[in-house]
Structure 1
Amino acid sequence: MIRFPRALAFALPLVVVATAVPSVSQLPSTPPGTPDKTRVTAGTYAVDATHSMIAWRVNHLGFNDYFGLFGQLGGSMTFDPANVAATKLTATIPVSKVVTVDAGLTAHLTKPGADGAKPDFFGANAADATFVSTKVVPGADGVSAMVEGNLTLNGVTKPATFTAKFIGAGTNFFNQAATIGFHGESTIRRSEFGLGFFAPLVADEVNLEITIDFEKK
């Protein structure tokens, strides 16, 4: 076994990172992604989990809205800019990793039911939610679409629809991957998925804001 001096061993990971990331002088002067549809190429794409997330918003007792976040999304998309209606999309949402800005609220969302009872919300070790598209309807503006599909959440599967808007495409200079990004919006009723605790005092309607990008594989 080769043994490095302690100081050198500590520095080696930093050297690897430094060689993998472009220096400031090598960075482009403009963002690599632009809202130019001609830069989109057909193929199969995977969700970039690091930069994709879903924010949710729900009204609290009629006073105000509060927010939470699902990150580390997974999934894939088969996309052809010449035939947007043929798009196929799957996504996974790790609801067990939900976060809010309040530790107590986050704990309540993931708290198991008392004495084996049903939890108020997701509970501990909740299964990932999934979305599988069944239909994509391109918008007349050429940059948006209506995506229909089936959402499975808390063990319940229901039809769900969201609007998607193309934001940008290009080549990510960090990993040289062809990348395409979208913003989306949807609304669901949590009671339909067995998550109706305290409704309607805490609103049944949950607004979802989606930001997601895909890297070509």
Structure 2
Amino acid sequence: MKNTLFTLAVFTCLAVSAQSTWKSDGAHSKVGFAITHLMISEVEGHFGEFDITATASDAFENAEFMVDIKTTSIDTDNERRDNHLRSADFFEVETYPSITFKTTGYEKTGDKTFTITGDLTMHGVTKPVTLEGKVNGIITDQRSNKLKAGLKLTGTVNRLEFGVGGDTPTLGDDVELTINLEMAQQ
């Protein structure tokens, strides 16, 4: 009897802590940012092409993210500005076609909140960053019968630390990140 209970406990622990792969749904996800312009207003934009994969439990805990964002896909609703952002003055997309992020740490901070730390590589520079996360909800998709999770990640990066754009009074140094994700369990 003791062996049966022990075996059952082990399998229960393994099932609870099992990790699976989750992929972002590009049609229902957005990698957005905002930066101060002329110290009086905020300009928003987003990256239209990205691949975000996570490994997490069914409750989307202990998440590890792998992110690849295509710098050529930057969009601020202004073609002239977008072309300038793609140039050597900012993202230098020919030389640095991707922004990447890989999780190095996860900490649960509340019932549906967490922080992740990781290595962000942008413009050839890798620095540690911390993002705040919130699980908006988890459902079973009626079509696939697999789990889907809604998440929001936020944080701030200093663009000068990554060599993006020069030191100028027309732009703020800090870039606010807002990433809304719909992740599908694979």
Q: Same fold (TM over 0.5)?
A: yes
Give the structure 2 partner of residue 11 of structure 1.
Answer: none
Distance 1:83 1:59, change over 3 A: closer
Give the structure 1 partner of residue 10 of structure 2.
Answer: none
Give the structure 1 partner of residue 20 of structure 2.
Answer: 43
Asked if the contact 1:52–1:73 (Cα under 8 Å) also holds between the matched residues in 2, the reply is no
Give the structure 1 partner of residue 4 of structure 2.
Answer: none
Deviation digits for residues 44-71 of structure 1 (CA, Å, limit 9, x no counterpart):
1112222222111111111211111112
Give the structure 1 partner of residue 172 of structure 2.
Answer: 203
| From 53, 56, 76, the counterpart of 1:79 | 56
| From 108, 118, 131, the counterpart of 2:84 | 108
| From 99, 117, 122, the counterpart of 1:129 | 99
Give the structure 1 partner of residue 89 of structure 2.
Answer: 120
More strand, by proportion: 2
Asked if the contact 2:31–2:48 (Cα under 8 Å) also holds between the matched residues in 1, the reply is yes
CA distance in 1, matches of 2:143, 2:169: 46
Higher alpha-carbon Rg: 1
Asked if the contact 2:71–2:93 (Cα under 8 Å) also holds between the matched residues in 1, the reply is no
Structure 1 position 212 matched with structure 2 position 171? no
Deviation digits for residues 150-206 of structure 1 (CA, Å, limit 9, x no counterpart):
001111100011000001211334554421110111100001111132434311111
CA distance in 1, matches of 2:60, 2:33: 31
CA distance in 1, matches of 2:52, 2:158: 23
Deviation digits for residues 118-155 of structure 1 (CA, Å, limit 9, x no counterpart):
x111134342111100111101x310001101001111
- Report the AA paired with residue 101 of structure 2: F
Runs of 4+ in 1 over 6 A off after TM superposition: none
| From 153, 157, 162, the counterpart of 1:184 | 153
- Report the AA paired with residue 199 of structure 1: T
TM-score by length of 1: 0.71
- Report the AA paired with residue 169 of structure 1: I
Asked if the contact 2:152–2:181 (Cα under 8 Å) also holds between the matched residues in 1, the reply is yes
Give the structure 1 partner of residue 42 of structure 2.
Answer: 65
Tell me, what secondary structure is at the counterpart of 2:76?
coil
CA distance in 2, matches of 1:95, 1:172: 31
TM-score by length of 2: 0.82
CA distance in 2, matches of 1:169, 1:214: 9
CA distance in 1, matches of 2:78, 2:32: 15
Identity %: 27
Deviation digits for residues 73-106 of structure 1 (CA, Å, limit 9, x no counterpart):
213111125793x322111111211001111111
Asked if the contact 1:182–1:211 (Cα under 8 Å) also holds between the matched residues in 2, the reply is yes
Asked if the contact 2:158–2:175 (Cα under 8 Å) also holds between the matched residues in 1, the reply is yes
CA distance in 2, matches of 1:51, 1:94: 17
Asked if the contact 1:53–1:72 (Cα under 8 Å) also holds between the matched residues in 2, the reply is no
CA distance in 2, matches of 1:148, 1:81: 21
Tell me, what secondary structure is at the counterpart of 2:77?
coil
